[in-house]
């Protein structure tokens, strides 16, 4: 059976792969490949984050009756990641691959511990708490 844990964790792995490509291209000073890789990664992440923020989190908050719980911390961390996305794009615009590398390192640690908390705790709680898992996953799938 498809679960939120499986569905959204797979997206994390996919984004990790795109992140690694962008970072490797920047480390090789290949700006064009770094920009292409970063754009793919950034779009993939935004798509993933919006699935959570617009569909999964509201469903979870509705089911638990609280928007001040774990989802509020996750939303805050999404904003922290978005600030780093913006800084990484600025570094690419300035052709500053060493700043990009430092920001990528910082994002990686932030993103990984965030993903970890989602995969180990929040998603599993959602799988247990939410009634219509298939419906919620269908809605996320349908998000443009």
Partner 1 sequence: MSMAGLSLEQAPPISVPFRFFLVAPLFLLLAALALLAAGPAALESRWSQPLLGITHLFTIGFMSMVMSGAMLQLLPVLAGAQVPKPHLTAWAIHLPLLSGALLLCGGLYFSTPVLVTLAIPLLACAFAVFLAIAIYSLARAPARNASTQAMLLALAALSLTVSLGLLLAACINGMLNLSMQPLVALHVGWGLLGWTTLLVVGVAYQVVPMFQLTQPYPRNVARWLSGALFTLLSAWSCRLLLPEPFAGLLAFAAACGVAACIATFAIITLRLQQKRRRKVPDITLQFWRTGLFSLLAAVLLWLAGQASAMLSNSTFYALALGMLFIIGFALSVIQGMLYKITPFLVWFHLQGKLPPGKAPHMKNIITDRTARWHWRIHLASLIFCLASAMWPMPWIYVAGSALLLGGILLLANLCRAWNIYLRAVAKT
Binding footprint of partner 1 on the chain (CB under 8 A): 16-17, 19-20, 23-24, 27, 64, 69-70, 73-74, 80, 83, 86-87, 90, 98-99, 101-103, 105-106, 108-110, 112-113, 116-117, 120-122, 125, 128
Nearer to partner 1, 122 or 140 (CB): 122
For residues 136 and 96, is the Cβ–Cβ distance under 8 A?
Answer: no
> Percent helix, strand and coil across the chain, each rounded to 5?
85, 0, 15
- Closest approach of partner 1 to the CB of residue 134, in Å: 23
For residues 89 and 104, is the Cβ–Cβ distance under 8 A?
Answer: no
Nearer to partner 1, 90 or 143 (CB): 90
Say how far apart CA 51 and CA 143 lie, in whole Å: 7
The position carrying tokens 């754009």 is 39
- Closest approach of partner 1 to the CB of residue 53, in Å: 15
- Closest approach of partner 1 to the CB of residue 124, in Å: 8
- Closest approach of partner 1 to the CB of residue 48, in Å: 16
The position carrying tokens 């569909």 is 55
């Amino acid at each position: 059976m498809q679960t939120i844990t499986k569905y959204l964790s797979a997206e994390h792995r996919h984004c990790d792969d795109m992140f690694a490509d962008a970072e490797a291209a920047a480390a090789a000073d290949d700006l064009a490949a770094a920009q292409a890789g970063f754009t793919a990664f950034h779009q993939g992440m935004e798509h993933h984050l919006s699935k959570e923020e617009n569909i999964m989190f509201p469903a979870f908050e509705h089911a638990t009756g609280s928007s001040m719980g774990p989802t509020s911390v996750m939303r805050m961390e999404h904003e922290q990641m978005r600030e780093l996305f913006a800084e990484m794009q600025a570094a690419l615009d300035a052709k500053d691959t060493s700043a990009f590398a430092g920001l990528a390192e910082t994002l990686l640690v932030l993103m990984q511990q965030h993903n970890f908390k989602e995969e180990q705790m929040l998603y599993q709680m959602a799988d247990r708490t939410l009634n219509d898992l298939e419906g919620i996953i269908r809605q996320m799938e349908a998000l443009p």
